Amino acid sequence: MKLTYARLLAGKTDPNNTSLWLPLWMHLRDTAEIMELLVRKWLPESVKKATDLDEEALIALARFLGWTHDLGKSVVAFQSVLMPLLPEAKQRMERFTTLTCPEQDRKKTPHARASEAILIELKCPPGIASIAGAHHGKPQEQEEVEAQLVSWTCNYYPKGEKAFWESCWDELFETALKDCGYDDPAELPDLTPPTEILLTGLLIMADWIASNTEYFPLIPVEELGNEVAYPERAERAWNKWDEKDLTAPWEAQTSIVDEEEFKARFGFPPNAVQAAAVEAANSVSAPGILILEAQMGVGKTEAALAAAEILAARFGAGGIFFGLPTQATANGILGRLVQWADNQPDRLLKCIRLAHGMAELNEEYIRLQEQTVPVEDDWDDSETNEHRVQVHQWFRGSKQALLACFVIGTVDQLLMAALKQKHVMLRHLGLAGKVVIIDECHAYDAYMNRYLDRALEWLGWYRVPVILLSATLPARRRAELVEAYQQKRTSAPDAPWKTSCGYPLLTWTDGEEVRQTTIPLDTPSRTVQTVPLTEDGLPGFLCEKMQAGGCAGVIVNTVKKAQAVARMLREALPEKEVQVFHAQFLMPDRAAREQELMERIGKHSTPVRRDGLIVVGTQVLEQSLDIDFDVMVTELCPMDLLLQRIGRLHRHTWRSRPQPMQAAVCAVLDTGEDAFDEGSAAVYGKWLLWRTRELLPQTIRLPEEISSLVQQVYGWAAEDKLPEDAASEKLRHNYELEQGKRKDRAEAYLVHHPKVYKRFPRLNTLDGWMADEGACSDPAARAAVRDGDPSVEVLVMVQGRDGSIHFLPWQEGGRTVASDCPPQPEEALKIARQKLRLPAVFGKEWNVKHVIDELEADNRRLLAQWQLSPMLRGELVLLLDETLTAHLAGMTLHYDRENGLIYEKEEADAGN
């Protein structure tokens, strides 16, 4: 059918230039062309397979979705908003219809919802129609769609003018069918919601690209557009996007099959653990899940990258997602992935994306990307801006992060694929085309594990290869992870792979089959002696061990304890150097401390730099840092984490050590048999602390005994209690009750299990898929997938007595920053790096509103202009006085370069 009346409809405008527009039909054609190009040139083979459509059928459907996604703009409610901005176009259209309707309520008919309703009216399958309804990131509610052409016809056409508007719908719909090779809407395929989710993600992506005037320029308003512009218009746009954003998916060309190929990639031949992972990846006949349990420092990262490269080459994945527990561990792995990428084809380094809340403040990452300071993030696609042209920074906005080829980030990026959140389809699209690696997969609590399990269920549905790494994984958790991926109980409850205590251990699936092997050790084992220690005895213990030099590590469970222990040791051992390392330092200070630790006690450190150093830290020392202590003290913690900490003791086996430290000794700080440290109990709960205390042996053989010790602590039966302790049953009951509550809390905002659609065919559209949205912003989503109170992050600056604002004395030379105007981008970036996460007490439910209200009041009064800076918009600034002290929510805070943030409760006024 030839377009006649439909040519008159507006699709995009520039509110600042009434002489330019884009007809609706051209925006639809632009989107259709980009949809096809995305399938042909960007979409990895693994995603194409996940849709269960052959390539030509997928291309036809993709083009159809591009052509029809904005049919809802061909209604009077939408056109009546745009046409006043385009007098000439309005005059043309008013020859055929009026553009006002007094009864209309445009809020009831957002154009995505209208698109779905019109498509259903035109006999389009409901599942495909629901993709159009969801293309702004949130599916519609079925009842609201059904009400559209019954209760809100005044939004679709003025009274008595139905014929004109329906002819526009028919023209566009018939054009879409014919262009895509369909003769009738009955030929359109029926889809499962998982396929609809992937196609919605692709449509969101195409719509954003097609809405970018750098790629698809507007035309003079006197023109109606011409078909002869295609396909060259789309190809020019694609080339610009491809040149700027490096869109081609990774094509892993080779499989690592021998030692020489591994050495060429990583610089050394594979050890037994790495060789086993490579062999398993080469042996499987289908994508699956692989779980590697191996000791700290054995090279699990290289094993995972080698296996991922093999799996990507064999099964058509277009990239890798590498998820880690914290921002610090994600930052720490960046250099190793860069080193691996250096041995890959050209342009690979440019395709690496660091994805977490502070990624754009990471100097190494910014240098790697050779990017200027970012000044904008995600597109505001709210209904008020739905017709405006936009400029997007691809792969740098948080919603697009997982669409890049290689993504390193916190595990939150994966967990959010299981969270009901706007644009979650983009996360599914990005993950479906990758090999997914999750490090430290033991490090998540019951709440986060529900999101991880649901994410694994979807990855299994999409047939995404998944690699999980851990040094200390409980056997029951291993079974849960495999069963989540395979979306069923895969074998009898007592299947040997579920209970094995072999170590190092490799478990993997090949189709329905679960395989497992214990990896023979190719390095000598070592023995670690554990000794009990009280806090009072700590200085004497360290003094005795360090009499001939060497370095010591002390790991405790809270920041307050770390600061207190460091203070005590400085007083008791003035001849020693005591450094503190925890999460409550400014970003630049923490990065500098981490770099100094790597230089002084890392792989290339020398005895001269190590001697006399005591490092007191928290859990940040137990993950991913390749540091080595000659002697170690750890506060009592659950067995798996205690063993992780011991992994930093005599880590570099080739190093010579002072005589008192030649035997590996780890002292365990504990309060005694009948009590627990309050901070430790708050973090870990008494049950796991109690079991660890009772089951911790005096000597540990590493790595052979790692698994058995973890299984003993976590592998209790329902009736299990340790000998002669009636209190253990109560502790166990309280622990299991709390774990159950955490799982229940997580259920509220989980996306549906993918198999629910097989059981309930009526759900075979996206309608209602996100009825209870779990988060309205990316920071809120990151918080939603982690249990507990929200954290409050602040930028820390100093206010002088004269009211001037400046950096801390050792940051940027302590120079002054103007507060009466928005900082320039480079200056804003330096300010944004002065970030600090406040202690948990400031995020408590009873306190957080007071904290934010106080900070916002100060910021409005003193720094209102900073909110006009894109990089600082929405940030809270904590202003210290010249003594680096502040008062907030009844607390006194002091920042110390050596100790980080220290706080204490202020005494109440007399009589108050």
For 518, phi then psi, to 5°, come to -85, 130
Query: Does a structural domain hold residue 265?
Result: no
Domain finish residue from 496, 518, 540: 518
Query: Does a structural domain hold residue 728?
Result: no
Sequential DSSP letters for 3-68: -SGGGG-EEEEETTEEEEEEEHHHHHHHHHHHHHHIIIIIS-HHHHHHTT--HHHHHHHHHHHHHH
Tell me, yes or no, whether 509 and 536 share the same domain.
no
pLDDT value for 758? 56
**Integer CA distances (angstroms), 871 to 224, 375, 537, 589, 874, in order:** 39, 6, 49, 21, 9
Cα(495)–Cα(482) distance, integer angstroms: 13
pLDDT value for 251? 82
Instruction: Give how many domains the chain has, as a whole number.
Output: 4
Which three-class secondary structure state does DSSP give residue 441?
coil
Partner residues linked to 322 by β-bridges = 408, 437
Residue 374, pLDDT above cutoff 50: no
The number of beta carbons lying within 10 Å of the beta carbon of residue 512 is: 11
DSSP type of residue 750: B
Residue 783, pLDDT above cutoff 70: no
Residue 110, pLDDT above cutoff 50: yes
Cα(325)–Cα(443) distance, integer angstroms: 7
Partner residues linked to 289 by β-bridges = 466
Cα(557)–Cα(633) distance, integer angstroms: 12
Tell me, yes or no, whether 478 and 590 share the same domain.
no
Tell me, yes or no, whether 420 and 487 share the same domain.
yes
Query: Does a structural domain hold residue 655?
Result: yes
Query: Does a structural domain hold residue 712?
Result: no
Query: Does a structural domain hold residue 773?
Result: no
Query: Does a structural domain hold residue 544?
Result: yes
Tell me, yes or no, whether 60 and 43 share the same domain.
yes
Instruction: Tell me the CATH number at 167.
Output: 1.10.3210.30
pLDDT in tens, 256-290: 777 888 888 888 999 999 999 999 999 999 999 99
Query: Does a structural domain hold residue 912?
Result: no
pLDDT in tens, 419-439: 888 899 999 999 999 999 999
Residue 360, pLDDT above cutoff 70: no
Tell me, yes or no, whether 506 and 591 share the same domain.
no
Nearest one of 702, 315, 325 to 529, comparing CA atoms:
702
pLDDT value for 757? 59
Residue 180, pLDDT above cutoff 90: yes
Tell me, yes or no, whether 216 and 296 share the same domain.
no
Domain finish residue from 471, 502, 518: 518
Q: Does 696 or 911 have the greater pLDDT score?
A: 696
pLDDT value for 495? 87
Domain finish residue from 465, 495, 518: 518
Burial (CB count <10 Å: 0-12, 13-18, 19+), residue 390: middle
Residue 857, pLDDT above cutoff 90: yes
Cα(744)–Cα(446) distance, integer angstroms: 10
Q: Which two tokens stand for residue 532?
A: 């009990």
Q: Does 491 or 189 have the greater pLDDT score?
A: 189
pLDDT in tens, 33-83: 999 999 999 999 999 999 999 999 999 999 999 999 999 999 999 999 999
pLDDT value for 490? 56
State yes or no: cis peptide before 790, omega within 30 of 0.
Answer: no
pLDDT in tens, 748-757: 888 888 876 5
Tell me, yes or no, whether 45 and 173 share the same domain.
yes
704 close to 727: Cβ distance less than 8 angstroms: no
Lowest average pLDDT, out of 114-128, 441-455, 706-720, 758-772, goes to 758-772
Range of the domain at 366: 272-371+401-518
Tell me, yes or no, whether 509 and 548 share the same domain.
no
Tell me, yes or no, whether 41 and 140 share the same domain.
yes
pLDDT value for 132? 98
Tell me, yes or no, whether 9 and 38 share the same domain.
yes
Tell me, yes or no, whether 305 and 414 share the same domain.
yes
Q: Side chain identity at 57, as an amino acid letter? A: A
pLDDT value for 361? 56
517 close to 506: Cβ distance less than 8 angstroms: yes
Q: What is the mean pLDDT of residues 190-218?
A: 94
Residue 659, pLDDT above cutoff 70: yes
Which three-class secondary structure state does DSSP give residue 156?
helix
Query: Does a structural domain hold residue 539?
Result: yes
Tell me, yes or no, whether 299 and 412 share the same domain.
yes
Residue 367, pLDDT above cutoff 80: no
Instruction: Tell me the CATH number at 610.
Output: 3.40.50.300
Q: How many residues does the chain have?
A: 912
